[in-house]
Amino acid sequence: MYSINLEEIKKHIEKELSSERMKHTLGVISEAEKLAERYGVDKEKAKLAALCHDMARCMPVDSIELAHAKMAADLLKCEWGIEDPDVLNAVTYHTTGRPGMSLLEKIIYLADAIEPGRNYPGVDRLRKLAYEDLDKACAEVMRQTIEYVKHKGCEIDDNTIKAMEELLAKERSADEQ
Protein backbone atom coordinates (compact mmCIF):
# COMPACT_ATOMS: atom_id res chain seq x y z
CA MET A 1 0.00 0.00 0.00
CA TYR A 2 2.74 2.48 0.94
CA SER A 3 5.65 1.07 -1.06
CA ILE A 4 4.60 3.00 -4.18
CA ASN A 5 5.20 6.37 -2.53
CA LEU A 6 7.82 5.32 0.00
CA GLU A 7 10.83 5.64 -2.32
CA GLU A 8 9.57 8.95 -3.72
CA ILE A 9 9.05 10.28 -0.21
CA LYS A 10 12.50 9.06 0.83
CA LYS A 11 14.15 10.82 -2.13
CA HIS A 12 12.31 14.03 -1.28
CA ILE A 13 13.34 13.83 2.37
CA GLU A 14 16.99 13.07 1.50
CA LYS A 15 17.10 16.30 -0.53
CA GLU A 16 15.57 18.36 2.26
CA LEU A 17 17.26 17.10 5.43
CA SER A 18 20.84 17.60 6.53
CA SER A 19 23.02 14.50 6.45
CA GLU A 20 22.99 14.41 10.26
CA ARG A 21 19.17 14.58 10.41
CA MET A 22 18.94 11.91 7.68
CA LYS A 23 21.26 9.67 9.69
CA HIS A 24 18.93 10.12 12.68
CA THR A 25 15.91 9.32 10.49
CA LEU A 26 17.51 6.11 9.23
CA GLY A 27 18.23 5.14 12.85
CA VAL A 28 14.59 5.76 13.76
CA ILE A 29 13.48 3.60 10.82
CA SER A 30 15.74 0.76 11.91
CA GLU A 31 14.56 0.93 15.52
CA ALA A 32 10.89 1.29 14.52
CA GLU A 33 11.06 -1.79 12.29
CA LYS A 34 12.54 -3.86 15.13
CA LEU A 35 9.97 -2.62 17.64
CA ALA A 36 7.15 -3.23 15.14
CA GLU A 37 8.37 -6.80 14.71
CA ARG A 38 8.57 -7.27 18.48
CA TYR A 39 5.06 -5.92 19.14
CA GLY A 40 3.25 -7.22 16.03
CA VAL A 41 2.69 -3.86 14.34
CA ASP A 42 2.60 -3.41 10.56
CA LYS A 43 6.26 -2.84 9.62
CA GLU A 44 5.39 -0.82 6.50
CA LYS A 45 3.36 1.63 8.57
CA ALA A 46 6.18 1.85 11.09
CA LYS A 47 8.72 2.44 8.33
CA LEU A 48 6.59 5.15 6.72
CA ALA A 49 5.93 6.98 10.00
CA ALA A 50 9.60 6.72 11.02
CA LEU A 51 10.79 7.96 7.63
CA CYS A 52 8.48 10.96 7.76
CA HIS A 53 8.61 11.89 11.44
CA ASP A 54 11.12 14.73 10.92
CA MET A 55 10.38 15.57 7.29
CA ALA A 56 9.38 19.14 8.22
CA ARG A 57 12.50 19.80 10.31
CA CYS A 58 14.10 21.56 7.35
CA MET A 59 11.32 24.14 7.08
CA PRO A 60 12.37 27.68 7.99
CA VAL A 61 10.24 28.23 11.08
CA ASP A 62 11.71 29.79 14.21
CA SER A 63 9.76 27.68 16.69
CA ILE A 64 9.89 24.44 14.75
CA GLU A 65 10.70 22.16 17.70
CA LEU A 66 7.18 20.88 18.35
CA ALA A 67 5.53 22.32 15.23
CA HIS A 68 7.59 20.16 12.88
CA ALA A 69 5.63 17.04 13.85
CA LYS A 70 2.22 18.45 12.91
CA MET A 71 3.69 20.04 9.79
CA ALA A 72 5.14 16.67 8.74
CA ALA A 73 1.75 14.98 9.18
CA ASP A 74 0.11 17.73 7.13
CA LEU A 75 2.72 17.27 4.36
CA LEU A 76 2.10 13.52 4.35
CA LYS A 77 -1.62 14.03 3.97
CA CYS A 78 -1.67 16.96 1.55
CA GLU A 79 1.35 16.27 -0.65
CA TRP A 80 1.61 12.49 -0.52
CA GLY A 81 -2.03 11.44 -0.08
CA ILE A 82 -1.39 9.43 3.08
CA GLU A 83 -4.64 9.33 5.04
CA ASP A 84 -4.04 6.50 7.47
CA PRO A 85 -4.90 8.09 10.85
CA ASP A 86 -2.53 5.79 12.73
CA VAL A 87 0.46 6.84 10.60
CA LEU A 88 -0.54 10.51 10.75
CA ASN A 89 -0.95 10.37 14.55
CA ALA A 90 2.38 8.58 14.94
CA VAL A 91 4.08 11.40 13.05
CA THR A 92 2.08 14.17 14.77
CA TYR A 93 2.77 12.96 18.31
CA HIS A 94 6.29 11.56 17.97
CA THR A 95 7.76 14.37 20.10
CA THR A 96 5.09 14.69 22.78
CA GLY A 97 3.11 11.48 22.94
CA ARG A 98 -0.56 11.78 23.86
CA PRO A 99 -3.19 9.96 25.90
CA GLY A 100 -4.58 6.92 24.09
CA MET A 101 -1.52 6.28 21.97
CA SER A 102 -1.72 3.32 19.58
CA LEU A 103 1.04 0.73 19.42
CA LEU A 104 2.41 2.40 16.29
CA GLU A 105 2.45 5.80 18.00
CA LYS A 106 4.35 4.34 20.97
CA ILE A 107 6.83 2.65 18.63
CA ILE A 108 7.61 5.83 16.72
CA TYR A 109 7.79 7.85 19.94
CA LEU A 110 10.26 5.36 21.42
CA ALA A 111 12.25 4.78 18.23
CA ASP A 112 12.88 8.52 18.02
CA ALA A 113 14.15 8.53 21.61
CA ILE A 114 16.35 5.42 21.49
CA GLU A 115 17.63 5.13 17.92
CA PRO A 116 21.31 4.08 17.74
CA GLY A 117 22.56 7.65 17.29
CA ARG A 118 21.05 8.84 20.57
CA ASN A 119 23.56 9.18 23.37
CA TYR A 120 22.34 10.43 26.73
CA PRO A 121 22.42 9.09 30.29
CA GLY A 122 20.14 6.07 30.64
CA VAL A 123 19.52 5.48 26.92
CA ASP A 124 20.92 1.94 27.04
CA ARG A 125 18.53 1.05 29.87
CA LEU A 126 15.64 2.54 27.84
CA ARG A 127 16.66 0.51 24.79
CA LYS A 128 16.47 -2.67 26.84
CA LEU A 129 13.18 -1.67 28.47
CA ALA A 130 11.63 -0.87 25.07
CA TYR A 131 11.80 -4.56 24.17
CA GLU A 132 10.48 -5.71 27.55
CA ASP A 133 7.56 -3.36 28.16
CA LEU A 134 6.54 -0.73 25.63
CA ASP A 135 4.32 1.20 28.05
CA LYS A 136 6.93 1.35 30.81
CA ALA A 137 9.55 2.50 28.30
CA CYS A 138 7.27 5.24 26.95
CA ALA A 139 6.39 6.41 30.46
CA GLU A 140 10.07 6.56 31.39
CA VAL A 141 11.01 8.53 28.26
CA MET A 142 8.15 10.92 29.04
CA ARG A 143 9.31 11.29 32.65
CA GLN A 144 12.84 12.09 31.49
CA THR A 145 11.53 14.51 28.86
CA ILE A 146 9.44 16.36 31.46
CA GLU A 147 12.45 16.57 33.77
CA TYR A 148 14.69 17.84 30.94
CA VAL A 149 12.18 20.43 29.73
CA LYS A 150 11.58 21.69 33.27
CA HIS A 151 15.34 21.95 33.80
CA LYS A 152 15.62 24.08 30.66
CA GLY A 153 12.85 26.33 31.97
CA CYS A 154 10.57 25.60 29.03
CA GLU A 155 6.87 24.81 28.95
CA ILE A 156 5.90 21.15 29.00
CA ASP A 157 3.33 19.97 26.50
CA ASP A 158 0.14 18.84 28.27
CA ASN A 159 -0.04 15.77 26.02
CA THR A 160 3.23 14.48 27.48
CA ILE A 161 2.03 14.86 31.06
CA LYS A 162 -1.38 13.31 30.38
CA ALA A 163 0.12 10.42 28.39
CA MET A 164 2.63 9.64 31.13
CA GLU A 165 -0.10 9.77 33.80
CA GLU A 166 -2.27 7.43 31.72
CA LEU A 167 0.56 4.92 31.24
CA LEU A 168 1.48 5.01 34.93
CA ALA A 169 -2.17 4.53 35.95
CA LYS A 170 -2.41 1.56 33.58
CA GLU A 171 0.75 0.10 35.15
CA ARG A 172 -0.60 0.58 38.70
CA SER A 173 -3.89 -1.05 37.70
CA ALA A 174 -2.05 -4.05 36.24
CA ASP A 175 0.08 -4.35 39.39
CA GLU A 176 -3.05 -4.41 41.58
CA GLN A 177 -4.56 -7.34 39.69
Quote the CA–CA distance of 41 and 101 in Å, as a whole number. 13
Distances (CA, A) of 45 to 16, 28, 89, 134: 22, 13, 11, 18
* pLDDT by 10-residue block (mean), the chain, 177 residues: 71 90 96 98 95 82 67 89 95 96 98 96 96 97 95 93 96 85
Tell me how far apart the alpha carbons of residues 70 and 91 are, in angstroms, rounded to a whole number. Answer: 7
The number of residues making up the chain comes to: 177
Q: How far apart are the first and last CA of the chain?
A: 41
Q: Write the class of the CATH domain 3-176.
A: mainly alpha
Which pLDDT score is estimated for 66?
A: 62
Task: For residue 21, give every residue at least 6 positions away whose Cβ sits within 8 Å of its Cβ, in sequence order, or none.
Answer: 54, 57, 58
pLDDT at residue 61, as a whole number: 54
> Per-domain residue ranges for the chain?
3-176
User: Residue 176 has what pLDDT?
Assistant: 83
The one-letter code for the residue type at 154 is C
